[in-house]
Chains A and B, each alone.
Chain A
Amino acid sequence: MSAQGSGIEVKLDDCQRQTIPADQDPSAYIVHEYDLRDVVNLLWMAGAEGVAINKERVVGVTSIYCVGSTVMVNETRLSPPYVVRAIGDPDRLEDFVQNPSYLAKVKEKARRRGLIFQFHRSSSIKLPAYKGSFALQYAQPGQ
């Protein structure tokens, strides 16, 4: 089901600099799948009631995986900028995202390498419905 409510929007994008110093590792200047996982994990911790990355709703069977230069979420390839939207208490969500103890790697890359990391609260976050299926083959209820 699609969902709507107050919440927060977090944007992550690769460094926009055209040239990277020769002695630096280019991969330190881009958004990685583990950065996205860290953001999603933090938003759940902050009490998010629903989360989506770009147009893909995050569900129980979702995995966020790096494939070549893009990130695959629910069998769909996404490329930057990545916009993570979460519905929940905007104050609490913002507190967690701002807190220097969380997302340390992302924030350090933003500070030192020009990675784009922005967030803003919103009174109307819209999350799309999950488009995949929940077919289970192995798990059964009960013992």
Chain B
Amino acid sequence: MSHRISQVMLTATTFLLGLLVMAQFHTHRLTSKVRASASSADQSVILSSLVEANASLRAEIEALEAQLDHYQEAGSSGMLETLVEELNRIKIVNGLVQVSGPGIKVRISGPLNALNVQDLVNELRNAGAEAIALNGERLVLWSAIAVDDQGWLTVDGVRIASPYLFHAIGDRETMETALLRSGGLIAVLEHSYNDLQVTISRSDKLVLPVHRRPPEFYYAQFKE
């Protein structure tokens, strides 16, 4: 029975490995396509992000190869541990568990609109934020930032108001620099609103809460 399980796992892992190799191949092709167009400033941004993506995919391939070896040697022992780890990653990404780690706190007081807040969240994700909370509400994939019929800003239906406090777990320097660079999003917002007050501080450990509403599926059917 355990032999059968490890065979299944082996097949799945090999399949994943194949996908990653394809992804890397695709990235390579993309890099060469990119060189043909775009200005040099854009190119450097694209290239650096592709190089980063490439490196992390390579690391993941190595990790998967190690996993593969592990399965081949040990059969099904240790599998549970790996599966739990994978499950934890998925839970973190989807806001199903409380999460902690180093990060930055961004406090903005001013008359931001829904698009500004969406842009800030996008900017943090772009700078590698692994988990974000806004005024105590954990943001997930399906979080919506909107204005309700009485003009309040809402996060997933919960009303929030200035000051807006973002907590983002991830690389502190990258996130801070991305927000503060000249011509960056904070500069643009400060240009739009005279009375905007922004403070960013780094923290060794932020703890972000669980998302209120777990995902539910009525319409979607999933395929491997």
- Residue from A1, A68, A75, A135 in contact with B59 in the complex, judged by beta carbons closer than 8 Å: A135
How many A-B contacts are there with CB distance less than 8 Å? 155
Q: Max chain A CB contacts within 10 Å: which of B88, B122, B169?
A: B122
Are B223 and A138 neighbours in the complex by a CB distance under 8 Å? no
With A68-B42, A134-B90 as given contacts, are A139 and B100 in contact (CB-CB < 8 Å)? yes
Tally of chain B residues near chain A (CB < 8 A): 68
- The answer to whether the Cβ of B73 comes within 8 Å of any Cβ in the partner chain is no
For the complex formed, measure the closest distance between the CB of B88 and the CB atoms of chain A, giving whole angstroms: 5
A59 lies within 8 A of B93 (CB) = yes
Query: Quick check: A132 and B221 within 8 Å, CB to CB?
Result: no
B57 located at the interface, meaning its Cβ lies under 8 Å from any Cβ of chain A in the complex = yes
Closest Cβ of chain A to B182, distance in Å, is: 17
What is the CA–CA distance of A6 and B125 in the complex, to the nearest angstrom?
29
With A67-B45, A138-B171, A143-B207: A131-B222 Cβ-Cβ less than 8 Å: no
Contact of A139 among B92, B119, B123, B221 (CB under 8 A): B92
CA gap between A89 and B42 in the complex, in Å: 39
Contact partner of B103 among A6, A7, A64, A138, CB < 8 A? A138
Interface, chain B (partner A; CB < 8 A): 19-20, 22-23, 26-27, 30, 34, 37-39, 42, 45-46, 49-50, 53, 56-57, 59-60, 88-95, 97-103, 114-115, 118-119, 122-123, 125-126, 130-131, 140-146, 149, 169-171, 207, 215-224
Which residues of A line the B interface, CB within 8 A? 1-7, 34, 37-38, 41-42, 44-45, 48-50, 58-65, 67-70, 72, 75-77, 87-89, 101-102, 105, 127, 131-143
With A3-B222, A34-B115, A87-B220 already in contact, the answer to whether A141 and B38 are too (CB < 8 A) is: no
Point out the residues of chain B lying under 8 angstroms from A60, CB to CB. Answer: 93-95, 140-141
Assembled-state Cα–Cα distance A69/B38 (Å):
8
Could you tell me if B207 and A49 are in contact, using CB atoms closer than 8 angstroms?
no
Contact of B118 among A34, A75, A133, A135 (CB under 8 A): A34
Contacts of A76 in B (CB 8 A): 30
Is A34 within 8 A of B119, CB to CB? yes
Pair A72/B46 contact, Cβ less than 8 Å: yes
A109 to chain B, nearest CB (A): 14
